[in-house]
Amino acid sequence: MRFTKMHGIGNDYVYVNCFEESVSDPSGLAVKMSRQHYGVGSDGLILICPSEVADFAMKMYNSDGSESEMCGNGVRCVGKYVYDRGLTDKTLVSLMTGGGLKQLELKVQQGKVKSVRVDMGMPEVQPHQVPVDLPGSTVMGYRLNVGSSVYEIHCVSMGNPHCVIFVKDPDQMDVEQIGSLIENHPIFPNRTNVEFVQVVDRNHLRMRVWERGSGETLACGTGACASLVAAVLTGRADRNVSMELLGGTLELEWSFEDNHVYQEGPAKFVFDGEWIGEE
């Protein structure tokens, strides 16, 4: 089976073109291919598929084999893949994901996609939409007991669940321990991604992220968008920000006009390969 390794500011996945290849057990394959040293090594597996309602469809599996609704960095990589590999000549591409239909604007230079601007849709903040099992119309500033500590959490869905925590310095946080505990906290029926966000100023945020099913990654596009929404709703930031992550920077906008969140950033090919399976 042929595959391609790509990354969006360090958030790396194995991509399979399902117009040409077939995958019978994507969950199992995601686990095998994602393993460091024994597999390809990645944050998970993304399948690029035909769609009856959009130009393309994307199916995403985390490194633990669990299926996820969305990946903001993965969406950008799909956009670059389908254009650069000749599956489309459009620069406005529709993509169906588990988190709904996404619109991609491909920024092309010298025949190659340089960056991708993605309409991530409207954020959801109602608890049952995130989902998070807490009362009220939103979860903004809820004090959650985790182990021996209390964290002020802000819950947003960008097609997948996010728990945003504002901190003085993300580099001082034990992302693995805290992230794992919150990911699996019983108030999150589908588990959750966890973002640790520093407000540098009203147009500049820094973030580390614990991704549901993958652990800490170098970037998370949906998490960056959810963090912008939480920062705006709590009066910490303006609607246009640069989000600095371990793997690079995303430009984000929460539009007044349509209430949609937009993210723009690069996508990169790493290498092509052939998976021969296990002997």
Same domain, 114 and 173: no
Note if 71 is an active site residue: yes
pLDDT for position 278: 61
Give the domain extent around 197. 127-259
pLDDT for position 279: 46
Options 71, 77, 163, 225, the catalytic residue: 71
The CATH code of the domain that includes 106 is 3.10.310.10
Same domain, 160 and 79: no
Same domain, 179 and 89: no
Same domain, 110 and 132: no
Q: Which two tokens stand for residue 194?
A: 């966890």
Chain-centre distance for alpha carbon 210: 11
In a domain, 43, yes or no: yes
pLDDT for position 277: 77
Question: Is the previous residue joined to 170 through a cis bond, with omega within 30 degrees of 0?
Answer: no
Burial of 131 (0-12, 13-18, 19+ CB in 10 A): middle
Pairwise CA distance, residues 261 & 279, whole Å: 46
Whether the CB-CB separation of 16 and 1 falls below 8 Å is answered with: yes
Same domain, 155 and 270: no
Whether the CB-CB separation of 183 and 192 falls below 8 Å is answered with: yes
Note if 220 is an active site residue: yes
What is the tally of structural domains in the chain?
2
In a domain, 52, yes or no: yes
Same domain, 15 and 92: yes
Same domain, 61 and 108: yes
Pairwise CA distance, residues 215 & 200, whole Å: 25
In a domain, 279, yes or no: no
Same domain, 114 and 54: yes
**Which backbone phi and psi does 238 adopt, to 5 degrees?**
-85, 180
222's enclosing H/E stretch is helix 221-233
Same domain, 23 and 115: yes
Going residue by residue through the chain, which has 279 residues, state the pLDDT in tens, using 9 for 90 and above.
999 999 999 999 999 999 999 999 999 999 999 999 999 999 999 999 999 999 999 999 999 999 999 999 999 999 999 999 999 999 999 999 999 999 999 999 999 999 999 999 999 999 999 999 999 999 999 999 998 999 999 999 999 999 999 999 999 999 999 999 999 999 999 999 999 999 999 999 999 999 999 999 999 999 999 999 999 999 999 999 999 999 999 999 999 999 999 999 999 999 999 999 764
Options 77, 163, 220, 225, the catalytic residue: 220
